[in-house]
Amino acid sequence: MDLTDRPRRLRRDGIRPLVSETDLDATDLVAPVFVDATTDERVPIESMPNHERVPVDEAVARVEEVRETGVEAVMVFGIPESKDERGTRAWADDGVVQEAVRRITAETDAYVITDVCLCEYTSHGHCGVLEPDAESDPTLTVQNDPTLDLLAKTAVSHAEAGADMVAPSSMTDGMIAAIRTALDDAGFADLPILSYAVKYESAFYGPFRDAADGAPAFGDRRHYQMDPANGREALREARLDVDQGADALMVKPALAYLDVVRAVREGFDRPVAAYNVSGEYAMIHAAAEKGWLDLEETAYESLLAMKRAGADLIVTYFAEDVAHRL
What are the residues binding ligand PBG (CB under 6 A)? 115, 117, 119, 127, 169-170, 205, 208-209, 214, 277-278
| Cα–Cα distances in angstroms (integers) from residue 113 to residues 72, 200, 224, 260, in the given order | 11, 21, 23, 23
Residue 246 exposure: Cα atoms within 13 Å on the Cβ side? 27
199 vs 307 by CB, closer to ligand PBG: 199
Extract the runs of DSSP E, i.e. beta strands, from the chain. 29-36, 43-44, 52-54, 73-79, 111-116, 165-168, 194-199, 248-252, 272-276, 313-316
Per the omega criterion (within 30 degrees of 0), is the bond before 207 cis? no
- The answer to whether 278 is a known ligand-binding residue is yes
Q: Residue 275 Cβ, how far from ligand PBG at the closest point, in Å?
A: 6
CB of 217 to ligand PBG, least distance (A): 13
**Least separation in angstroms between CB 97 and ligand PBG:** 12
Ligand-binding site membership of 99 (annotated): no
Active-site entry in 83, 153, 199, 307: 199
For ligand PBG, the closer of residues 222 and 325 by Cβ is 222
Active-site option among 83, 153, 252, 307: 252
Is residue 301 part of an annotated ligand binding site?
A: no
The b-or-e profile of 45-80 (16+ CB within 10 A means b, else e) is: bebbbebbbbbbebbbebbeebbebbbbbbbbbbbb
Confirm or deny that 237 is annotated as ligand binding: yes
Answer yes or no: 307 catalytic.
no
H or E element, residue 305: helix 295-309
Q: How far apart are the C-alpha atoms of 148 and 244, rounded to whole Å?
A: 13
Separation CA 224–CA 197 (nearest Å): 12
Report phi then psi at 111, rounded to 5. Answer: -90, 120
Tell me whether residue 8 or residue 130 sits nearer to ligand PBG (CB atom): 130
- Residue 254 CA to residue 257 CA, distance in Å, equals 5
Rounded least distance, CB 277 to ligand PBG, Å: 4
The values of phi and psi at residue 197, to 5°, are -70, -40
| 170 annotated ligand binder | no
The answer to whether 236 is annotated as binding is: no
Cβ proximity to ligand PBG: between 220 and 233 the closer is 220
Q: Is 20 annotated as a binding residue?
A: no
- Is residue 119 annotated as involved in ligand binding? yes
Residue nearest to ligand PBG (CB): 208
315 closest CA partner among 66, 142, 101: 66
The answer to whether 56 and 99 are in contact (CB under 8 A) is yes
Pick 264 or 277: Cβ nearer ligand PBG:
277
Nearest to 315 by CA among 34, 73, 151, 8: 73
Residue 89 three-state SS = helix
Distance CA 311, CA 232 (A): 18
Give 95 or 214: the residue with its C-beta nearer to ligand PBG. 214
Specify whether 252 is catalytic.
Answer: yes
Report the nearest approach of ligand PBG to the CB of residue 107 (Å): 25
Which residues carry out catalysis?
Answer: 199, 252
Question: Annotated binding site: which residue ranges?
Answer: 117, 119, 127, 209, 221, 237, 278, 317
Annotated binding-site residue numbers for 5-aminolevulinate: 209, 221, 278, 317
Binding residues for Mg(2+): 237
Q: Which residues are annotated as a binding site for Zn(2+)?
A: 117, 119, 127
